Amino acid sequence: MSEHEHRGDDQVEIIVNTRPKRVPRGVVTYEKVVALAFDPVPSGLNIQITVSYYRAQGGKSGDLVPGGQVAVHEGMVFDVTATDLS
């Protein structure tokens, strides 16, 4: 197995706002998912960003909050929404 193929084993493909993204196997944080969803990340006093996930281990779904993390696996889906609460 080549070095490139081996490195691929250390990552999984997740879907963030309908776009495939490769992340390290293990856990992903709220902040990382938001960064994958937006470039640049929306900011401001009234911006609220929500992160929901689906197809987690065992078919679970839920929400990520700032500072939170979730174990990732192949094909997991994240929906990230920024709302201006003004």
Contacts of residue 34, defined as CB under 8 A and 6 or more positions apart, other chains included, come to 41, 49, 51, 80
The mean of the pLDDT values for the chain is 89
Domain of residue 52, residue span:
3-84
Specify whether the CB–CB gap between 77 and 55 falls below 8 A: yes
DSSP letter for 50, please.
E
* Number of separate domains in the chain: 1
Provide, rounded to the nearest whole percent, the portion of the chain with pLDDT above 70: 90
Pairing of strands 11-16, 77-84: parallel
Tens digits of per-residue pLDDT, 8-37?
579 999 999 999 999 999 999 999 999 999
Q: What is the pLDDT of residue 19?
A: 97
CA-to-CA distance for 38 and 35, rounded, in angstroms?
5
CATH number for position 21: 3.10.20
